[in-house]
Amino acid sequence: MLKVINVVGARPNFIKVAPIVEAMKRREREFAPLLVHTGQHYDEMMSAAFLRDLDLPQPDVSLEVGSSSQAAQTAAIMQKFEPVVLREKPDWVIVVGDVNSTLACALTAAKLGIKVAHVEAGLRSRDRTMPEEINRLLTDQIADLLFTPSRDAVENLRSEGIPDSRIRFVGNIMIDSLVKYLERARTTEIREQLGVAGRDYAVLTLHRPSNVDDRITFSGILDALAVIARRLPIIFPVHPRTHKTIVELELAARVEEIPNLRLIEPLGYLDFLGLYSEAKLVLTDSGGLQEETTFLGIPCLTLRENTERPITVELGTNVVVGIDNETITNAAFTALDGAANQDSIAVPPFWDGHTADRILDSLLE
């Protein structure tokens, strides 16, 4: 039996770890899973909502590191995670995604001689100004097994000199959660509560510092949203740091001037899935939403200059539009008018809801 520590740090990690933990519990003769929550995202209410929605057990260990600078947070996670690894003596530590917890726990385990597996390996934006890109690059260098979501991720790793013996193309773990919970999510009452049931609407997420920490950039995006909102309502679950910068940059009045832009509190997994899965359009600077909308066939505009998930552009519904307001509005109306080439849209290989079991099979090799 393999004893495995599964690390979660930020809310997207819950979505990726949940299918793995569930599969391990189903295969209890082969795996003994432990769940460690670093507390990188420290909103207790939101963490509890994600645990409940995804049928995850309460974490076996909570490190409660909270928010701080990139360096301080990474160091705090390492300092608090090391005693856990020494006490539990796992066979594997599984890290997912690209947050600070991913790199910190991978580095800690590697230095202690514990095998590390990285789920969602090989993704590259080629933009080293993104902290996530640094986390991805370094985690992939030290991990013993690299589980990739797409074939381009495999090629990225090979080009960096990583041998095939460490690479496993297993598919997209986020789609495991989406497949399991989609029908349940569509029965939630979130659309009725927001008054958009049976209507066309868009969903917006915005949280990256490059978008929300600069007043000129944020203002330009708001200009585009104001134009799009004349066509249909835009539902905007506001990330805590985005809410903070709206106030600090004195943009609250500008936001309020856009009558069809509706700011709401962050949603749990099921409510959010129930909301965006019925949307006419999604605008985002998130990584995961690019993938989920591709699977669902929903037009997605990525408000960034690059993406670490190019497969969603090549095969899916994603368009990388940057932050120019005219480009954003033109792309939005093209999507809303159905002018995109639907014949080119496809779901990438192994985005099928069975990635978790492929991961476990590789760990047992």
| Predicted confidence (pLDDT) at residue 342 exceeds the cutoff of 70 | no
Same domain, 228 and 165: no
- Residue 322 inside a domain? The answer is yes
- 102 shares its domain with 195: no
Quick one: 164 and 226 in the same domain? no
Say if residue 44's pLDDT is above 70.
no
Give yes or no: residues 235 and 129 share one domain. no
Asked if 221 and 275 sit in the same domain, the reply is: yes
Could you tell me the CATH number of the domain that includes residue 82? 3.40.50.2000
H helix runs in the chain, sequence order: 11-26, 44-53, 70-88, 100-111, 131-142, 151-159, 173-185, 190-194, 209-212, 215-228, 240-248, 252-256, 269-276, 288-296, 311-314, 325-336, 355-364
Non-local (6+) Cβ contacts of 80 within 8 A are 38, 63, 65
Beta bridge partners of 148: 169
Number of domains composing the chain: 2
Residues 321 and 255 both lie in one domain? yes
Supply the pLDDT for residue 338. Answer: 86
Mark whether 207 is an active-site residue.
Answer: yes
Residue 180 covered by a domain: no
Please report whether residue 111 resides in a domain.
Answer: yes
Domain boundaries, position 55:
2-172+350-364
Do 96 and 209 share a domain, yes or no?
Answer: no
Kindly tell me the sign of the dihedral angle through the C-alpha atoms of 98, 100, 103, 108.
negative
Torsion angle, CA of 144/149/155/161, rounded to 10 degrees?
A: -10
Domain membership flag for residue 209? yes
Residue 81: how many CB atoms within 10 A of its CB? 26
Is 72 found in the same domain as 111? yes
Residue 28 lies in a domain: yes
The tokens of 133 are what?
A: 């890109």
From 37, 207, 243, 354, the catalytic residue: 207
Q: Is residue 237 part of a domain?
A: yes
What is the reported pLDDT for 66? 87
Per the domain annotation, does 179 fall within a domain? no
Same domain for 232 and 108: no
The pLDDT tens digits for 103-133 are 999 999 999 999 999 999 999 999 999 999 9
Q: Span 37-57, mean pLDDT?
A: 82
Rounded distance between C-alpha atoms, residue 276 and residue 355, angstroms: 23
